Chains A and B, each alone.
Chain A
Amino acid sequence: MRPLLSLINPKYFYRILDWQHKPYELAGSLAKVQEFDHYNNLIDLNSIFSTFPAGDPVDRTETVTGPFAFAVQRPWQPAQAKQDFSEVIALRVNYYLNTGKKLNLCWSGGIDSTCLVAGFLQHTAHLDQLRILYSPWSVYENREFFEYLKTNYPALDMLDISGDVYLETVFDGIMINGHGGDEFTASLDESFFDTVGYQGLHQPWQSLITDPTLQEFCTEYFALAQRPIDTVLEARWWFYAATKSQIFAPRDSVFATNATTSAFFNCQEFEDYMWHNIDQVIDNNNYISYKQFMKQYIYRFWPNDNYLKLARKVSSLQFVLYTRKKTELLGQQWIAYLSDGTAIRTLNLPLFSECEFKNTYGDSLEYLFKYL
């Protein structure tokens, strides 16, 4: 069985379509490819939810055929167990602890990563299994939590990865990040919230998705959630959970040359929790209440009133910027990652040509393009 795609870099990957004379048009950074109408519907839907769609949709229901052969890492299945959020965290933490490996917790200072650090510190018997990776921007984002850790957990291994450290260190064990925390909570960015408002989130989804053809597609696609999808918020939750939760490759971080990268919230337990509790995505008409249930969980570990009342979701891009920089400096640019972790790359990236691609791969990757 040949490995399928795990992640593609649109900057290079779509140029292959030009060489194959396959017509496409861009929406954000995504390609709508001729003859893949249902897949293009997903991109149209993405364009409604986001001003600049990025990250190719990978349909976890496996009902929509796209132009590229992606491997679905975790096919969609309807929710089973109904558990408390604290039980979900405990299950997830114990899963990692039982590996016996060193656990590198990527703490950006945001809500998701603070939540996972709080979970690990509550359930870990041996602190030496943990290592917190942070940067000055993590401290900038959540200084009080940083000081709380320093004061109350002096034995905890905390490593500032800025400067030369992220460029030169090869980590072992598992790199655990907060990915999935957005995708399974409707990926509700502030600009979308400002546009539709709290009331708008609870309007029928047909008020936002007005195109009849798209409505027809959505009616069928939303039924696959096997729970009612009536409102804009539910539609948004389903879209991101079903198609956008797999946007990170198994080795999306070059910190992790010898380590596995794992997304803490990209798991069945958390997905099930949100399936039952979409109403918890946001509490009221103030954007600060987005992910309030996570902040309440953090509060039980670290009772900080200011954080509970005032912390808001921000996009923490520091680790992404570090990763990109290290990728460039090491000459490890990539065209795509396959599901077995191998990178598709040509020798002289970022200079990319048909000639170099053919010289490197010939026709051996044609199976990744479904229209060929």
Chain B
Amino acid sequence: MQQGGLAVNIGRPKRIIEIEPATVPLPEPQLPMPDPGPAPVEPMPLELPVEPPGP
């Protein structure tokens, strides 16, 4: 048994399998990237309380 776009001999047929996959093994279609919207506002830097020097 030869050809079929591969040009190698795959031997004699052994059995027939009917495969109905629950999920067809195709990649998911690529969704367009969502609009990122306005740039996030930078948070104000926190002013940390300065601890008094220890004794």
Are both chains from one complex? no
Residues of B whose CB lies within 8 Å of any CB of A are: none
